[in-house]
Amino acid sequence: MSTKATMEKIVSLSKRRGFIFQSSEIYGGLKASYDYGPLGVELKKNIKETWWRDMVHSREDIVGLDCSILMHSDVWKASGHLAGFSDPLVDCKNCKERFRADKAPLAEAGSEIKYREGGKSDGKKLTGTVDERGYVCPVCACPDLSAERQFNLMFRTSLGPVDPLQEIANAAEELAALDPKGRMQKLSEIMKPSAVYLRPETAQGMFVNFKNILDSSRVKPPFGIAQVGKSYRNEITTSNLTFRTCEFEQMEMEFFVKPGSDEEWYTYWRDARLEWYINLGIKPENLRLREHEVSELAHYAKACSDIEYFFPFETQNGVGEWGELEGIANRTDYDLKKHTEYSGKDLSYFNSETKERYVPYVIEPAAGADRAALAFLCDAYDEETVVSPKGKEETRTVLRFDPKIAPIKAAVFPLVKRDGMPEVAHKIVQDLQKAGINSFYDQSGAVGRRYRRMDEAGTPFCITVDSETLENETITIRDRDTMAQERISVNGLVSELIKRIRDE
Ligand code: GAP
């Protein structure tokens, strides 16, 4: 983590420069939903495209897929999401906060805890005893809490012309005559025929298309199917900008291997994925691999590691907390076997050379594009003291993105707004755009201020058109990190920038 980044600064910069905005802000905002502004959308797109290039286009053993978000409800029965994808939900009886029991602050069972009535700073001082569950309300620290109840995280909606609300209204009399258990049963009967769910992960799309891809793409284990797309979870606790939201994008890959080779491939992907973040510029000291304890493993996993980033989140112990960026799991043959059981379709693989038939094991690197974007933003953030041309000390805020993921690669400035310089600068922008280098034209304010604006946007290169350009067709390139300037010929600019962006 940059020692200078705080979430307050990241949130403020995100809004000021157009990385991330609160969703529906003019209506007061929607809880934990965010929109990516002009710079944010480029950053996230670059991360997803780099992931796709590294995971699909630069390999011979991985193919891509783009599944629909709504899938057959039986997919979620087979995967276990309908029965078990839930979090323990608790209500605070004092301040009415609703929170996840497994994320609540711990307190010693039997100890006395002080809190304020209603959770208000001027509320009456009260004392309560922590019960055997050993945690308190995350907002007011009150230990007087409701019982835990399981809350399914999937968003349910209905497909087709039948409105389940109308059906419920039609059955109102019958429902009123039933006891609560019977009423729930009747309601679920009414909802069931049209119920569909927004996918909570992209992974299941790869499992249910396993046979389609085997039959159509001439792949054979070991091979992978990759997908980037939105997933939805009705998260109880959302926090820290885009870290945990109800709508988010995943970058997942399911790698199908012969049983017995799974442990080797698990180690391979775990290490390769950690390297990916480091190669894209995240400081190694802000990353760690955390191997799950056996007791932590999901029911389908034989092994799992999280790649964690040290985010500048505020905690009780100060700034900084490890948070999961990506999980790498050995999912065994669980998913293919479950989908075989529920669909009745054989999802085994037959090797016609060795005459062997087996259900492949799956190694899954599952990353989040929003969490990755937040981590890259936090890690790139830097402040330094510089001396202005007038000899004054000032703070330079700079996002030191790797050029590959920087939202804008080059900004082009005419030194002055006359003598034909704007025309030359516009022409350079067009040439760069044609070459696929996302560029930005800026002629407003002093050049020094334009540099500062681009530093805050994380733009690695600034090109200035000046009077010498008009004489000998040369421009200056200023490097964001060193602030050094170099004069080169306009003709060589595209190839020079491509070289620098690719880090050749
Ligand atoms: N198929 C396995 C799977 O979905 P996961 O650990 O639940 O595993 C994978 O999710 C990644 O998706 C996480 O490491 C995280 O980056 C991202 N993710 C999960 N829930 C999220 C949420 N509520 N908000 C933002 N990102 C989330």
Q: What is the pLDDT of residue 32?
A: 82
CA 33 / ligand 1 centre spacing (Å): 16
Q: What is the pLDDT of residue 504?
A: 63
Please tell me the residue having the least CA distance from ligand 1 atom 16. Answer: 368
Please tell me the residue having the least CA distance from ligand 1 atom 10. Answer: 366
Q: To test the ligand 1 pocket, which listed residue (201, 309, 364) has its Cβ within 8 A of the most ligand atoms?
A: 201
Helix (H) or strand (E) holding 436: none
Among the residue ranges 80-89, 252-261, 473-482, the one predicted with the least confidence is 80-89
Task: Report the nearest atom of ligand 1 relative to the CA of 371.
Answer: 16
Query: How far is it, in rounded angstroms, from Cα 272 to Cα 61?
Result: 15
Closest CA to 268 of 365, 338, 344, 339: 365
Please tell me the residue having the least CA distance from ligand 1 atom 1. Answer: 203
Query: How far is it, in rounded angstroms, from Cα 338 to Cα 78?
Result: 6
Please tell me the residue having the least CA distance from ligand 1 atom 8. Answer: 366
pLDDT per residue as tens digits for the range 223-279: 999 999 999 999 887 678 999 999 999 999 999 999 999 999 999 999 999 999 999
CA 425 / ligand 1 centre spacing (Å): 43
CA 231 / ligand 1 centre spacing (Å): 9
DSSP state of 149: E
The whole-chain average pLDDT of the chain stands at 94
pLDDT per residue as tens digits for the range 291-320: 999 988 988 899 999 999 999 998 877 889
DSSP state of 261: S
Residue pair 190/171 in contact (Cβ under 8 Å)? The answer is yes
Q: Is the pLDDT of residue 2 over 70?
A: no
Closest CA to 299 of 261, 327, 332, 256: 332
Rounded mean pLDDT, 142-163? 90
Rounded mean pLDDT, 456-475? 97
Cis peptide before 365 (omega within 30 of 0): no
Query: How far is it, in rounded angstroms, from Cα 332 to Cα 267?
Result: 14
Among the residue ranges 61-65, 295-299, 472-476, the one predicted with the least confidence is 295-299
Q: Is the pLDDT of residue 62 over 80?
A: yes
Query: How far is it, in rounded angstroms, from Cα 478 to Cα 442?
Result: 15
Rounded mean pLDDT, 425-432? 97
Rounded to the nearest 5 degrees, what angle is found at the Cα of 179, between the Cα atoms of 176 and 180?
95
CA 90 / ligand 1 centre spacing (Å): 22
Please tell me the residue having the least CA distance from ligand 1 atom 22. Answer: 244
Among the residue ranges 91-100, 327-336, 365-374, 483-492, the one predicted with the least confidence is 91-100
Task: Report the nearest atom of ligand 1 relative to the CA of 246.
Answer: 23
Rounded mean pLDDT, 441-446? 94
Contacts of 212 (CB under 8 A, 6+ apart): none
Q: To test the ligand 1 pocket, which listed residue (371, 374, 376) has its Cβ within 8 A of the most ligand atoms?
A: 371
Residue pair 241/10 in contact (Cβ under 8 Å)? The answer is yes
Q: What is the pLDDT of residue 100?
A: 87
Q: What percent of the chain has pLDDT over 70?
A: 99
Residue by residue, DSSP assigns 153-167 as: -PPEEE-SS--HHHH
Ligand 1 first shell, C-beta below 6 A: 201, 203, 233, 235, 244-245, 248, 250, 252, 324-327, 364, 366-368, 370-371
In what order do the strands lie in the sheet containing 98-100? Answer: 98-100, 86-91, 149-152
Task: Report the nearest atom of ligand 1 relative to the CA of 324.
Answer: 14
CA 66 / ligand 1 centre spacing (Å): 18
Query: How far is it, in rounded angstroms, from Cα 52 to Cα 48?
Result: 6
Q: What percent of the chain has pLDDT over 90?
A: 84
Residue by residue, DSSP assigns 328-356 as: EEEEETHHHHHHHHHH-----EEETTTTE
Distance from the Cα of residue 125 to its chain's centroid: 41
Bridge partners of residue 332, in order along the sequence: 362
Please tell me the residue having the least CA distance from ligand 1 atom 15. Answer: 368
DSSP state of 194: G
Q: Is the pLDDT of residue 1 over 50?
A: no
Please tell me the residue having the least CA distance from ligand 1 atom 2. Answer: 366
Q: Is the pLDDT of residue 188 over 80?
A: yes
Among all chains, which residue has been given the structure tokens 């669909």?
A: 343
User: In a 3-state reduction of DSSP, which class is residue 130?
Assistant: coil
Rounded mean pLDDT, 342-368? 97
Please tell me the residue having the least CA distance from ligand 1 atom 20. Answer: 244
DSSP state of 74: H
Q: Exposed e or buried b for every residue in 217-233, given b needs 16+ CB within 10 A?
A: eebbbbbbbbbbbebbb
Among all chains, which residue has been given the structure tokens 């309300």?
A: 137
What are the CB-based long-range contacts (under 8 Å, 24+) for 310-318? 310/1, 310/285, 310/286, 311/1, 311/7, 311/240, 311/243, 311/374, 311/375, 311/378, 312/1, 312/2, 312/5, 312/6, 312/7, 312/10, 312/378, 313/7, 313/239, 313/240, 313/243, 314/6, 314/7, 316/105
